[in-house]
Structure formats: C-alpha cells, structure tokens
Structure 1
Amino acid sequence: MILPDRAYAFFSHTHKVQKENTPLLDKILAERASLFDYELIVEDTGKRLLAFGKFAGRAGMIDFLRGLGLWYLNHGYSTPFLSLGSSYMYSSLAAAKAAVISVGEEIATMGLPSGICPLVFVFTGSGNVSRGAQEIFKLLPHTFVDPRKLPELPEMARDLTQSKQPSKIIFRVYGCVATCQDMVEHLNPSKSFNKADYYVHPEQYKPAFHEKIAPYASVIVNCMYWERRFPRLLTTKQIQDLMKSFSKKKKDLMKNGCPLVGICDITCDVG
C-alpha cells in the first residue's frame, strides 16, 4: 500500500531493525517514499515526544469491552456492553469515554447478570498501556482488589446465590493490578521475590500467575512488555488446564472462582 514519492508519518517499528517490519522499510526505500517515524521525534534532551502506550491501552480496552458484550450475548447473557462501539467509531476520546460512562451508569442502576458475576479484570503491569486501559475501566462502577484478596471474591458470589437480596457485586466490576511479584516465585522456596534479582536472573524463577491470579480472572488485560528470557505469563497448556478446570466446576462455578472468558492483549511482542 506504500505509494511512490509520498510522505508517511506513523510508528513503523523499524529503527531497531525489528525483523517483522523490515519488509515495510524495504518497500518505503524502493518506492522512494519519505518516512517520519513518530518514535524518533524527540526533544532537545533526547526524550521522546510521542508515545502511543496510553492510547493503545484506552483503545484496546474499549474494543475489548465491545467484544465482551458480543461474547456474552452469544452465550445467552444480555449486558450493557452491547451498546458500546469500537474505538474507531468515535470521533474523539471524549466521545468514547462518554459511551463507556453510559455503560457504567446502566451497570450501576440495572446491574449485570448474576451468572457472570463477579466480573474481574486483571491488568498486568503498571506502565503507560496499563494506565490507559485502567483509565477506561475506571469509568465503570468498580472496586480494585489486592491480588492476595482475589480468592475472597468467589465467597461474595456464593453469598449472591444464597441471598434473595440483590448483591452489590452485580452493580460493579472488579479490577486487580498484577505485577511481576504476582507472576513468578523463586525456584528456591526459602527465597522471597526480589525484583532486581528477577530482572537479572529470570531463569531462577518459575511461573505462578496461572495458580495465584488466573483462576479468579474473568478477563486478563495484558499490558506489559515481555522477552523470551522471562517465564510466560500463561502458556497454552496452562490456559487449557484452566479451561478444563472451569468446565468441571461449571455446575458450581460461583464457589470456585470466575471463568476466564477472554484475554485483552494490548502488546506487540510477537510470539
């Protein structure tokens, strides 16, 4: 789609010789086009002026909430998320936020179907992408939960099934921010997590997210940077095992945590 002798401005992901995008750069050179790469626009101090992290988080979260509404509808649940459009459908961030706020007002007054509650969103990392995604999430009626408190949410759900009174958990969504200390454990049980040590020696740590966090998440919003030297957040087998576990407990789901219905992956780490 690159036209000859034209000027383009976008994030090209080529200046670090990212191999997935080098054909794009070859095409630009072949067509004698000009590329103004947002990533290389900096202040006199060298600090970058343009970053898409927060906007990626905002757009990714809006798009996922729309998809969540469609997913639930396909499984027999009508939710306020159905009225939300994709991010590209709004003329501005303010317009998109107004639409999310409207969804939140409906949740606060009408509630969510009890069969999908508590609806728990787990955000990975605390960088720009995560902050952008949380910015949209916080427009909904919400409560943030410490990662260590996640196992208590199914208890609240059990109260919902046993009580004839509407439970507060249907009138809000729940959020949880998981950082690297919630994702891994040291191979030596006598050693506690140390962030600096983990970054230097990730091979000395084993994954724990699939046991400590994932079983209680309805949605995992993946916002963090990852390299192959670190343990994966969730392997394919771990997800398969989780889904098998949820399937076995389906009749008594509220006593055993939330089913994982989706992963909102707002990253560009290939593979």
Structure 2
Amino acid sequence: MRETHIALIREGKVPVDSRVTLTPDQAVEVQKQYPHLKVYCQRSERRCFTDAQYEEAGIPLVDDVSHCDIMLGVKEVPIPELLSNKTYLFFSHTIKKQPYNRELLQQILEKNIRLIDYEKLTNGKGNRIVAFGRFAGIVGAYNGLYTFGQKMKLFNIRRAKDCYDLEDLKTEYAKIKLPPVKIAVTGAGRVAKGAMEVLNGVGIRKVSPQEYLNTSFDEAVYTQLMVTDYNIKKGGGSFRRQEFFNHPEQFEPGFLPYTKHTDLFIAGAFWDHRAPVLFQREDMLTDNFRIKVIADITCDIEGSIPSTKQPSTIEQPVYDYNPEQDTVVEEPYANNKFVSVMAIDNLPSELPRDASRSFGENLIKHVFPNLLGEDDGMIARATIADKGKLTEPYLYLQDYVAGR
C-alpha cells in the first residue's frame, strides 16, 4: 500500500489560532493505527504544543509540506498558502455564503483542491462528529461572567487565556460572587451544554423559563431557552420543531419577554438568517430592556443580535454598544447605558490544549477510519469541492462562487 503523508499545517489566518488538529501524542498514536500513514508537522511558533514537543515525539518538522497528500488545519488557509491538487480539512466558513471567503472558495476550485469541511462531518443521523463547541461554550460563559464582574465591579477573575487548562480555570469559580441576577442561555447543543457546565460549576441554580419570567429570587439563577421558547408561529398554532427548521421565515420573534428579566445573556444557539432576530435595536432603547452584558458565542455579525456589530478578540475581548447611535464603543464599561458585548469568534483558542486534545480524539476515532479507509458517506457529505467543481450537495454555492 502506498504511504500516505499528512501535514499538520501552521495556522496562517490573523489573528493566529494556537489550536492544533492532533497533539504530539495523537500524531504518534494515529501512525501506530495506520502503518501506511506518515505525519509531518509544519513549523510554527504559535501552537499551544510546541515544535519541540512534536520533535521529541518523533514527528518530523518541516517547512515545505508540498510532498504531503492531506493537509490538516483548523481555520481558513490564507489563499497564497493553498497548494494545488491536495486534500484539505479545515473550517472553511463558506457554506453560509460568507462574503469574506468567496475568493477562498474560488481559489480552491481553481487549484483543484478537495475541500472537506469539519463543520459538515456528520454521522448517519446528521449529528456533527468533530467540533470545538463544548469549549466555545465553556470559555464563552466564563468570559460572560468575567465581563459581568468587570462591568458591575463585583469580582476579579483571571482571563481564560491566562489559565493553563480547564482544571486551572475551574479554580477561579470560587471567586465569582453574584447578587440575585438572572442569566439566559440559548441553545441545546454542545455550545449551550458547555456554557451550562460553567454556570453549574459556579453554583448558579437552573430554573425553568416559566419560573424565570414569573418568579423573583434571592440568588443568581439561569434558564436554558430552546427555539420553542422564543419563536412563535405566525398566525398562531402549535409550534412544530421540524416546521421551524424547514421554514423559519414562517415564525416571529418571542424573545422580548426575556429581555425584561435578563441581566446577562449568553447566546449559544445556531441562527438561520431566515429565522426571526431575537430583538431589534429599538427594543434596546426601551426602559424595560434589562440586559447589561451579552456573551455572543455564536458571533453572527449583523445577525440575530443587533449589538454584535463586529467580533471582539482575545486581546480585546469586550466592547460596548451604544444602541442610541447604533455604534461600537471600543473602550468597554464606559457608560452604564451601553451594553457590553463579548463576541470573540475563536473562543476555544483560550483553552487550546484541552480543545485540541478533544478535537483530535474525535478525528482519530470517527473521521480517520473514513478518510483513510472505506468511507461510509461521512467524507462525501463533508466534501464541498473536488476535481475543480462543487460537489452535488453544495451546488447551491455556485452563484456565490460566481459573485452573483
């Protein structure tokens, strides 16, 4: 059998991501499982696992990866670094027709690259196989609490990025002391579960949406909101989940009641651009809009949350939003009338070691058997481009690629 060469490519997108797809130990492990496989590590100064750690594990360090067949990255590969006639796996952020990545997909087709998008790797039931969602939720909720503590001058905790790993971050929980505030979390997937993992760890009690809206508490509480809790069928009628997912445009927003009771909002639910927005800028100007901090883990720019005007960064995690002028105020906590927004778009990078280790485990267990052996359909479903063309499931991107 011909030897297959895999490259762990350096991350070139700015800001640079420190996550990896395989840790040094995992790179060794996968070669033991697949004797015909050889893993190479492209040199990088920004990984959470150093070049020296890969070298000590016996993984060759290289600058040139053109001899490799499969390129494993995390974020989008800069266009000048794309190599023709290769297989790439990374989060391409093209499937929603993101304008900023149109040229990336154009060049992938031009260079005859097979693009496999992690976001579309699913099992037979449609459930995602590999994701950083849990750690996005963990860091997002933690950052939300950090922001709330800073804004309200309640407590000081270390930034997640300054903690070595998740266990180290958990040592900060005891410092978080909250008055009787209310926290709303949207979503039911990995992100929301990660967020609730933190809230539970801090000792904040979970209550039902009904209790949340109708009861006063003498302690901090949180509620988890599903799509059924904040979307209403137009014209009345019962809420059918599948109908909502198929035709979200047939629903109207029902989130406003929660804005009157929420101090910290943690947004962890996927949002379809056809679905209702959660609230409008005008709603934020009313006297009964109570939200002081929004931790927007989804980071949908100009999406369901009007204050998410731009992403924040790990270096500058928070900005204020002035709803009167619909503008961003770069210096946070400047005015109590403003809403403080945490909208970092690469949250798992603040706990890169844990996030990378979990990601690599799922790659080895679920993806490599299909990628390196017989595909049960998983790889085909996630292949956006091949042989210079969009694959059939992604033909809807043709107008996007053409710039129409």
For normalisation by structure 2, the TM-score amounts to 0.47
Matched, 1:203 2:265: no
What is the CA distance between 1:238 and its match in structure 2?
2.0
Q: How many residues align?
A: 221
Distance in 2, matches of 1:179 and 1:227, equals 14
Letter in 1 for 2:260: P
CA–CA separation in structure 2 for the residues paired with 1:199 and 1:128: 18
What is residue 73 of structure 2 aligned with on the other side?
Answer: 9
The answer as to whether partners of 1:10 and 1:37 remain within 8 angstroms in 2 is no
1:56 maps to which of 120, 130, 136: 136
- What is the distance in 2 between the residues matched to 1:192 and 1:37? 36
Which of 266, 270, 274 is equivalent to 1:225? 270
Letter in 1 for 2:230: M
User: Percent of counterpart pairs with the same letter?
Assistant: 25
Distance 2:108 2:159 in 1: 30
After superposition, give the CA deviation of every residue in 1:100-144 in whole Å (9 maximum; x if it has no partner): 2x225xx3xxxx4xxxx4211101011100001111111112211
Tell whether 2:180 aligns with 1:103.
no
TM-aligned CA deviation for residue 199 of structure 1: 2.3
Q: Distance in 2 between matches of 1:61 and 1:89?
A: 16
State yes or no: 1:69 paired with 2:100: no
What runs of 5+ residues in structure 1 fail to find an aligned partner? 74-78, 157-167, 247-258
Aligned to 2:210: 148
> Per-residue displacement from partner, 1:143-199 (whole Å, max 9, x unpaired)?
111111123333x4xxxxxxxxxxx42xxx21101111111222223x122222222
Quick one: distance in 1 between partners of 2:235 and 2:127?
A: 40
Give 1:49 shift.
5.0
Deviations along 1:218-265, one digit per CA (max 9) or x if unpaired, are: 111100111221001122222223xx335xxxxxxxxxxxx3111110
Match of 1:182 in 2: 229
**2: distance between equivalents of 1:28 and 1:91?**
36
- Counterpart CA distance in 2 for 1:50 and 1:237 is 38
Matches within 5 A, 1:119-198: 119-154=181-216, 156=217, 168-169=218-219, 173-189=220-236, 191-198=237-244
Q: What is the match of residue 159 of structure 1?
A: none
For the 8 Å contact 2:248–2:272, the answer to whether it is kept is: no
Asked if 1 retains the 8 angstrom alpha-carbon contact of 2:134 and 2:191, the reply is: yes
The answer to whether the aligner puts 1:262 opposite 2:308 as a matched pair is no
Q: Report if the CA contact (8 A) 2:140-2:295 is conserved.
A: yes
The gaps in structure 2 that reach 5 residues or longer are: 1-11, 14-43, 45-62, 66-70, 77-90, 303-404
Residue 73 of structure 2 aligns to a residue whose secondary structure is: strand
Quote the offset at 1:19 in angstroms: 3.2
8 A contact 1:9–1:37 mirrored in 2: no
The letter of the residue matching 2:238 is: S
The aligned amino acid for 2:196 is Q
**CA distance in structure 1 between the aligned counterparts of 2:299 and 2:239, rounded to whole angstroms:** 27
Higher helix share: 1
Distance (whole Å) between structure 1 residues aligned to residue 181 and residue 271 of structure 2 = 26
SS in 1 for 2:215: helix
TM-score by length of 1: 0.68
- Tell me if the contact between 2:144 and 2:266 (Cα under 8 Å) persists in the aligned partners: no
Counterpart residue number, 2:164 = 91
Q: Once the 2 structures are TM-superposed, how far is the Cα of residue 36 of structure 1 from its aligned partner?
A: 9.4
1:245 is aligned to: 288
SS in 1 for 2:270: coil
Taking the aligned partners of 1:98 and 1:264, their CA distance within structure 2 comes to 21
Task: Specify the SS of the correspondent of 2:224.
Answer: strand
- Secondary structure of the structure 1 residue equivalent to 2:164: coil
